[in-house]
Amino acid sequence: MNHPYCLFLNPRQGVPGVVVLTEGGFRRASAEITAWPGYAPTPLRELPAQGFASLHYKDEAERFGLGSFKALGGAYAVQKLVVGELARAGIRATGAEVFSGQHQPNVTVTCATDGNHGRSVAWGARQCHAACVIFVHEHVSQGRRDAIAAYGAEVREVAGNYDDSVRAASAAAESNGWHVISDTSWPGYTEPPRDVMQGYRLMAEEALAAMEQPPTHVFVQGGVGGVAAAVSVQLRARRIPAKLIVVEPDEAACLLLSAEAGEIRVVDGDLPTLMAGLACGEPSLLAWQELERAAHAFMAVPDAAAVEAMRALAPLGIVAGESAVAGLVGAILAGRDGALGLGPESRVLVFGTEGATDPELYARLVAGG
């Protein structure tokens, strides 16, 4: 693999900051999610080492049948919200009762999505018998829209990009008395995204628990930063001093831009990356509060490298969607140049965050279309 990339070492790593995710919150999220029907840890696959001591790929392609790690976050946040709303109505209900559909809450949840988060929220809403309206921007594929609608959600299109759909969902919720279950956060709106990120930590915990030796380097996708921040917190909770590298598409590198500026910055425009799940122009406030002090480096990689990685994984029996491989691409490219101290002693962990969440697009890309 030989592609250009951008690498920025974080000069603020190690600066003290706020506690974004508490340990008690993670214990509650883990207890609820691991009790859901069909829960099982996803595989940690060992890939050809690429010149490292080891290269492990956490394969999220089959998580709860939804095809991505997002199943851990949005659905858990819906469950927690519904429990709280029932309590306000004088109904005491456990998370298990709510998630098995034993109650009929008068609740509508909403969010914006590039595909996977909306699918998780829609699935969680169906499990909890809540109504659901999902906002997508005009570049979200029909296959991903159909996957959301299959869980009974209403899907509404918004002109513009992902960040425009976030604003549309928030405005609709305020007008209609709905509840926003977003995977991104902003000043004054942090609690559901915090629950989403606590759910994501379970993926990191599974991976770290499955490794015989802890990783020295962890590469994880960017997007708004929620999953990267969740991985970062779990590394610290386990006292693993691995270097955390956040990898984004070069067409939507809002976290790298923010790191360079030393404050949150926004990437405007259509964000025309093929890595649809990472086509985010504005970092999550909570995620940034963690990553600005904990990430070792930020990378931006091209779409062509992601497609090459998808094709390389397919003969190994690994189905990886276009947003699944950013971390893997980052590891291979940085390893090629010996950057970040990568070499034959390095134990590298990457997260394959989705399978073929748009099967038609996946087939076309892997076949060379």
Q: Which residues are catalytic?
A: 70, 114
CB neighbour list of residue 10: distance below 8 Å, 6 or more residues apart: 259, 292, 295, 296, 297, 298
Residues linked to residue 350 through DSSP beta bridges, in sequence order: 57, 219
- Degrees, nearest 5: CA angle 126-132-133: 150
Q: What is the DSSP string of 73-105?
A: THHHHHHHHHHHHHHHTT----HHHHHTT-S--
H-helix or E-strand spanning residue 152: none
Q: Show the 3-state SS of 280-340.
A: CCCCCHHHHHHHHHHCCEEEEECHHHHHHHHHHHHHHCCCCCCCCCHHHHHHHHHHHHCHH
Residue 217's SS3 state is strand
